[in-house]
């Protein structure tokens, strides 16, 4: 591998830095590719786009099955316009409803409908099957558990999800 340099051709990385960057690239690109494939499996079997599935899954995991629109944007990493577009599509399909917050009329809530719960459950079962095939079978349950523990340890230092 060629040593990366700065714009002036100077200040390149040492071999240890290059190895570290290469390892990170392997992890990052592998995770992105795998996530894309898993969500493509969900979309091909259920017709639910990845962004829609992310919203449905987030809502179904909340005790109230409700979230503020700005919270969806923050937690899922969508722009405000992107969140509105996804929630509007889900509302047109009858999977979520947009409601004003009872405590603050300026806040709009996305609320999962019973049909949305069903679709989220179907999509989650599809994702579970894909995970078993693409991740669990090649790695084994002990390796997957170890990987999850390792990533959770890295996540422990992040700020986490804001509460509603």
3-state secondary structure (DSSP) of residue 34: helix
Instruction: Please check whether residue 20 is in contact with residue 31, taking contact to mean a CB–CB distance below 8 angstroms.
Output: no
The predicted-structure confidence for 111-154, as pLDDT tens digits, reads as follows: 999 999 999 999 999 999 999 999 999 999 999 999 999 988 88
| Phi, psi (deg, nearest 5) at residue 8 | -90, 5
Determine the average pLDDT of the residues in 82-96.
Answer: 95
The structure's pTM equals: 0.76
Determine the average pLDDT of the residues in 102-119.
Answer: 93
Q: Which CATH number is associated with domain 23-139?
A: 1.10.10.10
Q: Which two tokens stand for residue 12?
A: 């390149």
Sequence spans of domains, the chain: 23-139
Q: How far is CA 74 from the centre of its chain?
A: 12
CA dihedral 60, 91, 48, 160 (to 10 degrees): -40
- Above 70 in pLDDT, residue 98? yes
**Best CA proximity match to 58, nearest among 77, 32, 81:** 77
**Length of the chain measured in residues:** 164
- Above 80 in pLDDT, residue 12? no
Structure letter (DSSP) for residue 95: S
Say which residues have a Cβ less than 8 Å from residue 66's Cβ, sequence separation at least 6: 59, 109, 110, 111, 112, 164
Give the separation between CA 12 and CA 122, rounded to whole angstroms. 50
Determine the average pLDDT of the residues in 28-48.
Answer: 94
The predicted-structure confidence for 41-83, as pLDDT tens digits, reads as follows: 999 999 999 999 999 999 999 999 999 999 999 988 999 999 9
Q: So what's the pLDDT on residue 163?
A: 44
Write the DSSP assignment of 112-134 as a string of letters: E-HHHHHHHHHHHHHHHHHHIII
Determine the average pLDDT of the residues in 23-52.
Answer: 94
Q: So what's the pLDDT on residue 161?
A: 46
């Amino acid at each position: 591998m060629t040593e990366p340099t700065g714009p002036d051709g100077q200040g390149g990385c040492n071999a240890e830095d290059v190895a570290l960057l290469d390892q990170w690239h392997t992890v990052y690109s592998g995770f992105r590719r795998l996530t894309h494939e898993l969500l493509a499996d969900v979309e091909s079997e259920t017709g639910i786009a990845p962004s829609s599935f992310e919203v449905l899954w987030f809502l179904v995991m909340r005790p109230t099955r409700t979230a503020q629109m700005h919270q969806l944007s923050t937690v899922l990493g969508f722009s405000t316009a992107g969140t509105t577009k996804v929630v509007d599509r889900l509302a047109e399909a009858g999977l979520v409803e947009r409601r004003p917050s009872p405590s603050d009329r300026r806040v709009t809530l996305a609320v999962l409908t019973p049909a949305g719960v069903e679709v989220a459950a179907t999509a989650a079962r599809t994702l579970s099957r894909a995970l078993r095939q693409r991740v669990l079978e090649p790695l084994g349950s002990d390796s997957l558990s170890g990987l999850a523990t390792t990533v959770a340890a890295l996540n422990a230092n992040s700020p986490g999800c804001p509460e509603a």
